[in-house]
Amino acid sequence: MDGPYLDVDELNQTSNANIFAVGDIINRPNLTPVAIEQGRVFSDNFFNDQKRKVNYENIPKAVFTIPEISTVGLSEKRAKEIYSKKNIKIFKCKFTPMSNTFKEKKSKCMLKIVVNNLTDKVLGCHMFGETSSEIIQMVSIALNAGITKKDFDITMALHPTISEEFVTMYG
């Protein structure tokens, strides 16, 4: 045991073959959806004789402020640490959504895509602005599927939406 956590293997089994642990007691991201998935995976493995593992890659996160702030995948800084600065390309845009056209208080949006320049693989997407948590949740599916920047580029935009900016960023 390292610190306040129980050590578990990738199937959430402790050093005692009959004891499993999930949730905040193990050293994994302490988020409700993570604990729920750990429980589902345990149930599938223990009661249905599967060998599923929890996917800890690309866990979306959000801060429910106004505007919302959401992220999935690697940050620009972390991507540059792993792949070196020269191998990372950043795509960004800032704008006022059309949904603000008739509002007195106009909120801004910012979107960022972090791309491995050698493979074109999207490593992270980050956003602040209205509905960012909903948008980033869907982007996390694409990241888990191994989406590339080209995949974003060839996807038709849905206008007028905030999320269309993810598929219209060129650099």
pLDDT tens per residue across span 83-92: 999 999 999 9
Q: How confident is the model at residue 101 (pLDDT cuts 50, 70, 90)?
A: low
Q: How far apart are the two ends of the chain, measured CA to CA in Å? A: 47
Q: Is the pLDDT confidence value at 154 over 80?
A: yes
CATH architecture under which domain 61-167 falls: 2-Layer Sandwich (3.30)
Q: Where are the alpha helices (DSSP H) in the chain?
A: 32-48, 76-83, 132-144, 149-153
3-state secondary structure of 78: helix
Q: Where are the domains of the chain?
A: 1-56, 61-167
Q: Which residues have a catalytic role annotated?
A: 159
3-state secondary structure of 63: strand
**Nearest one of 52, 82, 67 to 136, comparing CA atoms:** 67
Q: Looking at residue 104, what is its pLDDT?
A: 74
- Residue 125 burial by CB count (10 A; 0-12/13-18/19+): exposed, middle or buried? buried
Q: Looking at residue 3, what is its pLDDT?
A: 66
The answer to whether 38 and 101 are in contact (CB under 8 A) is no
